[in-house]
Amino acid sequence: MTALRVLTVDDSRTILAMLHHTLSNAGFEVLQAEDGKQGLDLLKTQDFDVIITDINMPVMDGIEFIRHVRATGQHQSLPILILTTETSQDKRDQGKAAGGTGWIVKPFDPEKLISVIHRVVH
């Protein structure tokens, strides 16, 4: 079986690096984008099994990114996980309203991250 592909979108390189480390160790194939715009560009040419996105980003924030992804029509069933901090319940709700599938609380626990992904990916 080939590796599941994850698109990680975050403007923080630290977070991207941590996600990359955790996910690739767990056998995922990880691609990175630094804002929603870059994420959309990658989605145009490549397929993913799940997206993990931050909310606060320059150029295009996570909420708008999720909206765009859902609006394209071909990614209706693509799971999107939102990276939030535990104090930002409202962001989480906004993310869900935009079409987010679930969320991951930052700073994330690697094990929890993997199990959350398995909750939304076949």
Q: Kindly state the smallest distance separating residue 38's Cβ from other proteins, in Å.
A: 15
Query: Binding string to other proteins for residues 41 to 80, with x set by CB under 8 A, is what?
Result: -----xx--------xxx-----------x-----xxxxx
The residue (of 29 and 40) whose beta carbon lies closer to other proteins is 29
How many Å separate Cα 39 from the centre of its chain? 9
Alpha carbon distance 98, 13 (integer Å): 25
Of the candidates 4, 31, 18, 101, the residue with the CA atom closest to the CA atom of residue 62: 101
Residues 6+ apart with CB under 8 A from 26: 110, 114
The site that binds other proteins (CB under 8 A) totals a number of residues, namely 48
110 binds other proteins (CB under 8 A): yes
Q: Of these, 6, 8, 9, 11, which contacts other proteins (CB under 8 A)?
A: 11
Residue 8 or 101: which CB sits closer to other proteins? 101
Alpha carbons 63 and 54: distance in angstroms, whole number: 9
DSSP H helical ranges for the chain = 13-25, 36-45, 62-71, 89-98, 110-120
The residues that touch other proteins, with contacts defined as CB under 8 A, are: 2-3, 5, 11-15, 17-18, 21-22, 25, 29, 46-47, 56-58, 70, 76-80, 85-87, 96, 99-103, 106-112, 114-115, 118-122
